[in-house]
Amino acid sequence: MERKASSPMAPTFLVSAPGKVIVFGEHAAVHGQPAIAAAISLRSYLLVNTLSKSRRTVRLSFRDIGLDHTWDIDTLPWAAFNQPGRRRIYSSPATSLDPVLLAAVKPHVEAAVSPRLSDRERRMHTGSATAFLYLFLSLGSRQSHPAIYTLRSTIPVGAGLGSSASVCVCLSTALLLQTRALSGPHADHQQQQPPEEAKMQIERVNAWAFVGELCIHGRRPSGVDNTVSAYGNATVFRRAHDGGGGGPPTITPLSASFPKLPLLLVDTQQPRSTAEQVERVRMLAEEQPTITESILTTIGQLTTSALEVMSSSSFDSEDDMAIEGLGTLFRVNHGLLVSLGVSHPRLERVRELVDSAGIGWAKLTGAGGGGCAITLFRPTTKDEEMSVLENTLHTEGFRVYKTILGANGVGVLWPAVFHHDSVGGKPGEEINQEKFEKAVGPEGVEQLVGVGVQEKRQGWKFWACTAV
Ligand SMILES: Nc1ncnc2c1ncn2[C@@H]1O[C@H](COP(=O)(O)OP(=O)(O)O)[C@@H](O)[C@H]1O
Ligand SMILES: C[C@@](O)(CCOP(=O)(O)O)CC(=O)O
């Protein structure tokens, strides 16, 4: 696609990208076994208000983490980003950060953004601000339109649900759209883009989102979170197992027919470190190599079985027997993770409550040691039974989210107007920045602009590529 030369002022628009859960295979994935990760209906939303050229500022309003900062466009380090050999064109994103460019961004973040906060809060702010500036300077130019980027997310921050990746997918999409370096997404099947073209757009979004992830993490993440967030549905992730050589992982997007299973996501609110949990398994492998190897291989085998079940064209998520089979795999996978030593009393409490209610199967998701559990329910579960469980979890201090496995990937609402009567406005009315910023909690954001739970909300478009 050729980029157009002129850049008339864009209307206010919204982009949105989902969080993720690892459904099967965490930890075994570190040792070369496959894992399945899926997009969930919790999402980040980024509203972009383009301002007139005379304003010369860009503002980030990331209300969930309390970040509100404005930069003067003309004082940003454009010279560094425009140096011959350093400038990357939008169609050829970097796969690692350029230390010279990172150093040029640093003074505009470190000294400027939220100086009076605690270290932990500052890290959150500087991570997101660095990702934004690095992408803005890479994709924009001194002539870029001034704008306000307002972000709201329904994904808990730092709970292993891919909040940072979804923020980066939103930023990458918004900036590429403003640069007019993306075509589509188109509205419906009649007008649909050729799948190959749609795939190219998602790949472009994904590659720049990974650059953002590198800025936030300060280390090299696997890339699975941003890939699931950009593509949606689900992906199979497999790290190269080459005796420590560290080749790139294989990431295989699964087809859009991946079952949209409803799940209850339970956040134990117990802080945990992915690195510590991974180290725990490594130490066990050192002490008990044969046993650990056999547990990890078994997890890999059950991931492969789960993949066969879920990608089968005859899989019916309303069928008790089909869900029972998947539930058994949840139970076994969780048990194996317990035997690796990565559960936590709070995660075991969730499992105990779900088991004793007899309505489904719970499994820890992600690194464990705290963080989140996912619960799959029998199709016959009654609403009252669900409510009792939810209330008990709530009373015991857990945070509960209803989500759908295999949600849409990155989406765009262009222009950002309401398509039907809603709490926020009338059809055709622009989505107001102030209302969006002030929406109360995840429910308020969902009600105003959500596409997570209300998958059918009109106006949102998604790139549709046929995955393998
Ligand atoms: N709603 C949000 N608004 C702004 N930045 C966010 C938001 N959610 C996440 N982030 C960024 O992502 C970081 C969290 O990333 P990480 O620790 O990897 O957690 P997760 O496992 O949820 O991705 C935060 O410190 C912040 O920089
Ligand atoms: C434990 C592990 O398999 C998954 C970590 O998941 P998360 O950081 O909780 O999203 C580690 C990894 O795959 O890099």
Within this chain, do residues 315 and 222 fall inside the same structural domain, yes or no? no
Kindly state if the Cβ of 27 falls inside 6 Å of ligand 2: yes
Kindly state if the Cβ of 47 falls inside 6 Å of ligand 1: no
Going by alpha carbons, the residue nearest to atom 4 of ligand 1 is 62
Q: Mean pLDDT over all residues of the chain?
A: 89
Going by alpha carbons, the residue nearest to atom 10 of ligand 2 is 160
What pLDDT sits at residue 466? 56
In this structure, the dihedral spanned by the alpha carbons of residues 364, 366, 369 and 373, taken in order and rounded to 10 degrees, is: -30
Residue 60 lies in a domain: yes
Going by alpha carbons, the residue nearest to atom 20 of ligand 1 is 158
What pLDDT sits at residue 468? 40
What pLDDT sits at residue 245? 53
Kindly state if the Cβ of 158 falls inside 6 Å of ligand 1: yes
- CATH number, residue 391: 3.30.70.890
Within this chain, do residues 330 and 415 fall inside the same structural domain, yes or no? no
Number of compact structural domains in the chain: 2
What pLDDT sits at residue 5? 45
Place of tokens 């949209």: 260
**Closest ligand to 226 CA?**
1
Instruction: Please check the confidence at residue 235 and state whether its pLDDT lies above 50.
Output: yes
Residue 250 lies in a domain: no
Nearest atom (ligand 2) to Cα of 30:
13
Going by alpha carbons, the residue nearest to atom 6 of ligand 2 is 366
What pLDDT sits at residue 2? 44
What pLDDT sits at residue 86? 83
Q: How does pLDDT run across 268-313, given as a tens digit for each residue?
A: 999 888 888 999 999 999 999 999 999 999 999 999 999 999 988 8
Comparing C-alpha atoms, which of 394, 385, 393 is closest to residue 350?
Answer: 393
Nearest atom (ligand 2) to Cα of 281:
1
Within this chain, do residues 341 and 440 fall inside the same structural domain, yes or no? no
Residue 247 lies in a domain: no
Within this chain, do residues 326 and 221 fall inside the same structural domain, yes or no? no
Among 22-36, 89-103, 229-243, 268-282, the minimum mean pLDDT is found in 229-243
Within this chain, do residues 174 and 294 fall inside the same structural domain, yes or no? no
Q: How does pLDDT run across 349-369, given as a tens digit for each residue?
A: 999 999 999 999 999 999 999
List residues with catalytic annotation: 225
Domain that includes residue 78, residue range: 13-238+407-462
Going by alpha carbons, the residue nearest to atom 17 of ligand 1 is 158
3-class secondary structure, 32: coil
Within this chain, do residues 90 and 226 fall inside the same structural domain, yes or no? yes
Ligand 1 geometric centre to CA of 164 (Å): 4
Boundary of a domain, candidates 366, 388, 404: 404
Instruction: Please check the confidence at residue 4 and state whether its pLDDT lies above 50.
Output: no
Residue 245 lies in a domain: no
- The pLDDT of 323-348, averaged and rounded, is 97
Residue 3 lies in a domain: no
pLDDT above 90 coverage of the chain, percent:
64
Residue 246 lies in a domain: no
Tell how strand 57-62 and strand 147-153 pair up. parallel
Q: How does pLDDT run across 74-128, given as a tens digit for each residue?
A: 999 999 999 988 878 887 788 889 999 999 999 999 877 777 888 888 888 999 9
Within this chain, do residues 182 and 86 fall inside the same structural domain, yes or no? yes
Bigger pLDDT: 246 vs 254: 254
Within this chain, do residues 354 and 396 fall inside the same structural domain, yes or no? yes
Within this chain, do residues 177 and 270 fall inside the same structural domain, yes or no? no
Within this chain, do residues 105 and 198 fall inside the same structural domain, yes or no? yes
Kindly state if the Cβ of 328 falls inside 6 Å of ligand 2: no
In this structure, the dihedral spanned by the alpha carbons of residues 219, 109, 46 and 81, taken in order and rounded to 10 degrees, is: -80
Kindly state if the Cβ of 281 falls inside 6 Å of ligand 1: no
Residue 253 lies in a domain: no
- The pLDDT of 194-214, averaged and rounded, is 92
Q: What is the spatial distance between Cα 111 and Cα 129, in angstroms, rounded to a whole number? A: 12
**Residue pair 448/424 in contact by the 8 Å Cβ criterion:** yes
Within this chain, do residues 96 and 80 fall inside the same structural domain, yes or no? yes
**Residue pair 296/278 in contact by the 8 Å Cβ criterion:** no
Q: Quickly state the pLDDT bin for 447 (edges 50, 70, 90).
A: confident
What pLDDT sits at residue 464? 79
Ligand 1 geometric centre to CA of 128 (Å): 7
CB atoms within 10 A of CB 350: 28
Instruction: Please check the confidence at residue 167 and state whether its pLDDT lies above 60.
Output: yes
Q: What is the spatial distance between Cα 449 and Cα 447, in angstroms, rounded to a whole number? A: 6
pLDDT above 70 coverage of the chain, percent:
93
Nearest atom (ligand 1) to Cα of 216:
27
Residue 442 lies in a domain: yes
Boundary of a domain, candidates 404, 427, 453: 404
Nearest atom (ligand 1) to Cα of 217:
18
Q: Quickly state the pLDDT bin for 187 (edges 50, 70, 90).
A: low
Within this chain, do residues 231 and 149 fall inside the same structural domain, yes or no? yes
State whether ipTM is beyond 0.85.
Answer: yes
| 47: β partners | 14, 150
